[in-house]
Amino acid sequence: MNAAVSDWTIGSVMQYGSGLPIAVPGTAQATSNLATALLRGTRADRVPGAPLYLQDLNCSCFDPGQTQVLNPAAWRDPVAGSFSPAAAYYNDYRYQRHPRETLSIGRYFRITEKMKLQIRAEFNNALNRVQVPNPVATGYTTATARANGVYNTGFGIIATRPTAAVTGERSGLLVGRLTF
């Protein structure tokens, strides 16, 4: 019994948390007097009562290529010639959560008194969660555009082009280590 159940190793790293904050978009006013004098623009104002999202980013109930998820109507330019009182980030304006789960299981086999063989299997994304890319969060005045029925540009869309593809496949690694 001891030979069957001893010398096993099990490990796990699981990281859960809120999504990263989304920066408040800059304004479309590029030629106001303040921007010209101070060589910098300002942030957009948040429209009171307007929802920040058109779709919950943390549910798997929408097609990323067919859905605009951020609401461009939630932002507006401040009065010309004035700076926005908007914060750089809001706590309720965040990207999707991306949990990270890594599991490993292994066993030591004693070959001789001074020689051991360790066999270990390690799995990244062990629960096979889909990782959808973050939506475009700049240029809230930019209109969305479709190509072949899929959004490819615009504020609040999830660009599913090859450089920002949906990922999240499980991967594993088998490791053998001989110590003597």
Q: Which pLDDT tens digit goes with each residue over 105-152?
A: 999 998 998 999 999 999 999 888 888 888 888 888 877 777 777 777
Supply the pLDDT for residue 164. Answer: 56
CA 25 from centre of chain: 18
Task: Provide, rounded to the nearest whole percent, the portion of the chain with pLDDT above 90.
Answer: 39
Lowest mean per-residue pLDDT among 45-49, 73-77, 138-142: 138-142
Provide the pLDDT for residue 62. 85
Which neighbouring-strand residues pair with 14?
101
Most confident of 8-12, 39-43, 131-135, 142-146: 8-12
- Greatest C-alpha distance within the chain: 81
Average pLDDT, the chain: 85
Decide if pLDDT at 31 tops 70: no
52-70 per-position pLDDT tens digit: 999 998 887 888 888 889 9
pTM for the structure as a whole? 0.74
Q: Which residue has the higher pLDDT, 142 or 174?
A: 174
**Whole-angstrom distance, CA of residue 136 vs CA of residue 41:** 20
3-state DSSP of the chain: CHHHHCCEEEEEEEECCCCCEEECCECCCCCCHHHHHHCCCCECEECCCCCCECCCCCCCCCCCCCCECECHHHEECCCCCCCCCCCCEEEEEECCCCCEEEEEEEEEEECCCCCEEEEEEEEECCCCCCECCCCCCCCCCCCCEEECCEEEECCCECCCCHHHCCECCCEEEEEEEEEC
Give the C-alpha separation, 171 to 16, whole Å. 19
Per-residue pLDDT, 90 = 92
Tell me what pLDDT residue 39 has.
67
